[in-house]
Amino acid sequence: MTRRLLNALIATTLFLCSIATFAAEPAQQSAQTRVACIGDSITFGAAIKNRGKNSYPVQLAGMLGDKWEVKNFGVNAATLLKKGDKPYWNLRAFKDAHEFKPNVVIIKLGTNDSKPQNWKHKAEYVTDYVAMIKSFQELESKPTVWVCYPVPAYPGRWGITDKVMKEEVMPMIDAVAKQADVKIIDLYAALSNKKEMFPDTVHPNAAGAKVMAETISKVITAGK
């Protein structure tokens, strides 16, 4: 083999390798599991110092690693109820979450629904919740949807009460899970007896958000 032919062969091999590497990059990126965190101010990270590093979705992303892409679609004061005072359905985050084409959806809505002005529509809570779950399940990405019990309140404010969440909202979430055939992540139990993590009695601090992230991470990675 002449030197010229050998050099040509080497150049061709390097070129083909570069094409293969370039082609593999999008495939590697698309292999990430996309996680959409749907929720209210607790998901958003309100009242958490440096929420950009300490909200539960950000901490969850750190725990899951590079093979996962986690996005925070939490909105302050959002309700699950369509007739609530700030329905998640009407917010840009709802549309953005669908366009994200998630593989996993974590829904944590219900805390603001427990406010008296919203909970007067509680008869529609299960129907609205099941409809929201279905809206995600019908996406082309066919995500696995998880619903969450609300975190505790100690004892609550702004019309939010732990009593309503525990005795009324949570049993309705049980009915939702049964109807929609989805599983529940129990954030209520995870943060029970942790009053010190709720400075304003409703929103968990960074330490509380970490507990949320740890609980969710353990559940959604089970069996992987």
Whether 151 contacts 201, CB under 8 Å: no
pLDDT in tens, 43-98: 999 989 999 999 999 999 999 999 999 999 999 999 999 999 999 999 999 999 99
List residues bridging with 73 in a β-sheet: 38
9 three-class SS = helix
pTM equals 0.86
User: So what's the pLDDT on residue 20?
Assistant: 47
User: So what's the pLDDT on residue 211?
Assistant: 98
Interacting residues of 204 by C-beta distance below 8 A, sequence separation 6+ = 42, 48, 56, 151, 191, 197, 198, 211, 212
User: So what's the pLDDT on residue 31?
Assistant: 85
pLDDT in tens, 104-152: 999 999 999 999 999 999 999 999 999 999 999 999 999 999 999 999 9
pLDDT in tens, 159-201: 999 999 999 999 999 999 999 999 999 999 999 999 999 999 9
Query: What is the phi/psi pair of residue 163, to 5°?
Result: -60, -50
Q: Which helix (H) or strand (E) holds 137?
A: helix 125-137
